[in-house]
């Protein structure tokens, strides 16, 4: 890792680190953006047509699809045709001279065919940290197959527990498998960079979409192994906790999380039915889980009688956790979002972008710049 930069970003933990991103679509680019926000110089290697995500629109903003802009800020774009000997040599020279990290999510077998795999590059440069971000992982009968977020939400079991009971399979809207894989990749990379400080050796991080999807199912898996019952779809509810879900009010939807006996008793008072807390069917959480349909029918009828704001005031006064179901506009306009500074003005971007969801020493890392224009980086001299 090189010397930290002397500008304002020099205080960031990855200042002086150079990352070569052989990434496209969502997972690897999101990992690269996390590293860029933490101070790394991220060089995004793109084919002449650019990352496919540049074209995933409309809407488009600042010359590329909004999706691309959301996960590629703070990088530099280098266009190379890797099957051309001169471009291949240029990339290898760049990696050998400057790279601390290589991050890739190319098609299975492609980096091996191009001689850009971990074994080849680390054979020349043992200090290199190399991250493979694949679909099904490096071993097993499906190791050579490609994969995408909705496929992994299906294959990993997520779709089996999302949606209303008896309904068709539903994909979780946000790309939780792609973005989660990018998050795990960044964590693995940072972990090996830390180890390298002590040993001088780099290493290999292997992350896959399937492993991420399976990991998001951790609680469901444990419940199944412990109880033997397959988890199913619960709408907005939560397996093992009742009452814990959304209700339709007179003018919207409201989630109420009365997750223990004390909160349930308070909820019964708020809705005007303290006797429900004495009902043997609802005496404890186990009983409420077993009689969830009956309890939810009672609560649904009551919540429909008032507006969301009326219920929010009553529930807040009683100390019962609750939240309105907000759309994107409402979430962005909420004073809590503004107070946290989640949306950040990015130099060179015509719209604000979502910052990292954490702060360091009380400061959220600031994005260093906008997503790159295709090929804006001049041919580098290592």
Catalytic residues: 178
CB atoms within 10 A of CB 280: 8
């Amino acid at each position: 890792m090189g010397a930290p930069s002397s500008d304002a970003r020099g205080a960031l933990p990855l200042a002086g680190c150079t990352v070569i991103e052989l990434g496209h679509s969502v997972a690897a680019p999101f990992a690269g953006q996390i590293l860029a926000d933490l101070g790394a110089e991220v060089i995004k290697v793109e084919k002449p047509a650019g990352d496919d995500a540049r074209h995933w629109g409309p809407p488009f903003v600042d010359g590329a699809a909004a999706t691309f802009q959301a996960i590629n800020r703070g990088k530099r774009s280098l266009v190379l045709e890797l099957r051309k000997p001169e471009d291949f040599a240029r990339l290898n020279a760049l990696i050998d001279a400057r790279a601390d990290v290589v991050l890739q999510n190319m098609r299975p077998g492609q980096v091996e065919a191009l001689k850009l795999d971990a074994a080849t590059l680390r054979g020349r440069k043992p200090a290199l940290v190399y991250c493979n971000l694949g679909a099904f992982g490096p071993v097993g009968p499906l190791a050579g197959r490609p994969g995408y977020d909705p496929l992994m939400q299906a294959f990993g079991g997520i779709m089996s527990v999302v949606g209303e009971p008896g309904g068709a399979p539903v994909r979780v809207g946000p790309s939780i498998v792609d973005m989660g894989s990018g998050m795990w990749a960044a964590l693995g990379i940072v972990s090996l960079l830390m180890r390298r400080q002590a040993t001088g050796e780099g290493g290999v991080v292997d992350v896959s979409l399937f492993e991420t999807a399976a990991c998001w199912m951790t609680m469901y898996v444990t419940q199944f192994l412990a109880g033997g019952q397959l988890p199913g779809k619960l709408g907005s509810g939560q397996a093992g906790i009742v009452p814990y879900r959304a209700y339709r009010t007179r003018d919207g939807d409201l989630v109420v999380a009365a997750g223990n006996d004390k909160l349930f008793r308070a909820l019964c008072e708020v809705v005007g039915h303290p006797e429900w807390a004495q009902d043997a069917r609802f005496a404890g959480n186990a009983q409420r889980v077993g009689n969830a349909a009956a309890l939810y029918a009672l609560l649904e009828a009551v919540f429909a009688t008032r507006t969301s704001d009326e219920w929010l005031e009553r529930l807040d006064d009683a100390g019962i956790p609750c939240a309105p179901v907000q759309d994107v506009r409402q979430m962005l306009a909420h004073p809590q979002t503004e107070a946290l500074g989640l949306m950040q003005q990015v130099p060179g971007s015509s719209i604000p972008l979502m910052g990292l969801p954490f702060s360091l020493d009380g400061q959220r890392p600031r994005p260093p710049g906008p997503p790159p224009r295709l090929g804006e980086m001049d041919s580098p001299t290592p």
